[in-house]
Structure 1
């Protein structure tokens, strides 16, 4: 990705406004950033720090002549997040967002606002953090929409049932010579 560039050229007032909106839309959907803000990793003013990052990136695009390189934007974003929000996003999202912003800028230079329009029209229901938590809770409860994960869960359940059938179950925990009772693990309880 080191060769990813976004061409130079001035932004029209309409393109600048669209780019600024697009940056805000991307940041609003960026789960890692929203988690850092919601959990105040950068302190009580974490929201303001995230907004400042968005403003700085917009300024970088609007006030520079370019060309704009991924290898400049991604480390700038990573450093800013690390310093202002005390966070190191190691999920690859900084690079993904940087690439998305470069593409968005290039489109705006060409007065193409399709990706911003698409973001505008596909607003997530709720915020990114709530959706992330909802997905995590669904995964914990084995109620995933992914057929592969469901079948894998069924296979694991079948294996644990097989193992439960093969292993003799003690009828009741009995104290040892010292009076201590060994309690069986919770795993496998209630799977008859």
Structure 2
């Protein structure tokens, strides 16, 4: 994909209604383009990978994509600076992170380019990003696969360990029912006096 020059004042506008595409295919392609642009944002990816937004950081990234899409669904004019500001606010609100470089502006410029491409029914750059994202996702999925093989020298070791743990559990559960016997009969000291005994406790 070719590098684009960014004019922060660049915008798209319609006379009536909103910036939503009347053609369903165009709208779907644009929404895909927005998602791919958001997934391309390294600062956001770092925040997600480190869970700066909590355990649902990945869902928050998808939510940000939805917020940007809504800008075009709800307004008759959108410029790059509006997209940039929305991204920066979202990073602060959702990830408690301030981005002090121009990366959000670059993502805004990419989204604006995708909108204009879709107007011309040019989808190659969006499709190219989507293909790369799929390849990266599949590679990560392969790397996460863990195949556990039995030890050829001691194939039953894991089974033995499980049986030992079960035996320990049984012994501990049986111990819960142990009754401590109370002393039987009087106890007499060396001087011949009978000692008073406290009643034992049962558990």
TM-score by length of 2: 0.56
Structure 1 unaligned blocks of 5 or more = 131-192
Aligned length: 127
Partners of 2:135 and 2:31 in 1: CA distance: 22
How many Å apart are 1:14 and its aligned residue?
Answer: 0.7
The structure, 1 or 2, with the larger RCO (C-alpha pairs under 8 Å, 6+ apart) is 1
Contact kept, 8 Å, 2:34 with 2:69, in 1: the verdict is yes
Q: 1:115 to 1:10 in 2, by over 3 A?
A: same
Superposed CA offset, 1:11-67 (max 9, x none): 12111111111122222222211110010111111111111100111111133222x
Alignment-derived partner of residue 64 in structure 1: 75
CA RMSD of aligned residues (A): 2.1
Partners of 2:131 and 2:43 in 1: CA distance: 22
4+ runs deviating over 3 angstroms: 7-10, 121-127
Contact kept, 8 Å, 1:23 with 1:58, in 2: the verdict is yes
Alignment-derived partner of residue 104 in structure 1: 114
Larger radius of gyration: 2
Structure 2 unaligned blocks of 5 or more = 1-6, 141-203
TM-score by length of 1: 0.59
